[in-house]
Copies of this chain bind each other. A is one copy, B any other.
Amino acid sequence: MKKSKDENTEEHILEAAKLVFQSKGMDGARMQEIADQAGINKALLHYYFRSKQMLFEAVFNNAFSLLAPQLKAILNDESTIENKIRNFTSNYISFIVKHPYIPNFIIQELNRNPDFLLKMKENPSFPNLDKFKKQLQKEIENGIINPISAEQLFINIMALNVFPFVAKPLLKAFTNTDDKAYNKLMEDREIEIANFIINAIKHT
């Protein structure tokens, strides 16, 4: 087996493809641009990943497998609902700072092709709400938390965490903030969101 530049090249390609796909989407991305970005010939893209579709799926799966563990954390650990919420919002914000394009990329491409999810849902490591649901029900019965369905609460948590990054340009305009001020808002949200959610659901 040869390598020398082998693994290195594959990594370069994936990194370049990630950059291009995540900023332009599947339809907007050009194989030539990815090749240029990776500093190689276009034919080499097809040597490593047969087609644009396959290269795209490699990038997409990479992105998704970074996001999934974040969700499993909140759904499957043993701490209280309140602590889960605090941990999740805190973890998620720092995750996003490292990978700012991921949420929008995933959401956009899943809207373009919802079938991606069919395969993924069969993977046993795909996040599910079962445990979260039971735990929430127990805390509601114990009077710690006001009645709310696990689905609604989960959607709310995701919405409050993810949306500000997905809709950044729009929200920047509406709140009339520049990049710096908007990032400051995002930092503040790490605590704000958690308190907001806890207030909303905690029995008083």
Contacts and interface: CB of A to CB of B under 8 A. Distances in A.
Interface of A: 24-28, 71, 104, 106-108, 110-112, 114, 117, 120-121, 126-129, 146, 148-149, 151-152, 154-156, 158-160, 162-164, 166-177, 185, 188-189, 192-193, 196-197, 199-201, 204
**How many subunits of this chain does the assembly comprise?**
2
Nearest to A171: B155
B146 A176 contact: no
Specify the main secondary structure of chain A where it touches its partner: helix
A174 B25 contact: no
Which residue among A148, A171, A197 has the maximum number of chain B CB atoms within 10 Å of its CB? A171
Given A25-B27, A166-B166, 18 more contacts: A24-B112, A26-B28, A107-B169, A110-B167, A110-B169, A128-B176, A148-B192, A152-B188, A152-B196, A155-B171, A155-B185, A158-B171, A159-B160, A159-B164, A162-B167, A163-B166, A166-B167, A199-B201
Contacts of A160: 156, 159-160
Contact of A197 (B121, B128, B162, B200): B200
Given A200-B199, A204-B204, A110 B155 contact: no
Query: Chain B CB within 10 Å — which of A114, A158, A197 has the most?
Result: A158
Contacts of A166: 107, 163, 166-167
Contacts of A120: 173
Contact of A176 (B129, B152, B176): B129
A33 to B, nearest CB: 13
Nearest to A153: B196
A104 to B, nearest CB: 6
A193 B146 CA distance: 14
Contact of A189 (B104, B110, B152, B175): B152
A111 B172 CA distance: 12
A169 B24 contact: no
A198 to B, nearest CB: 8
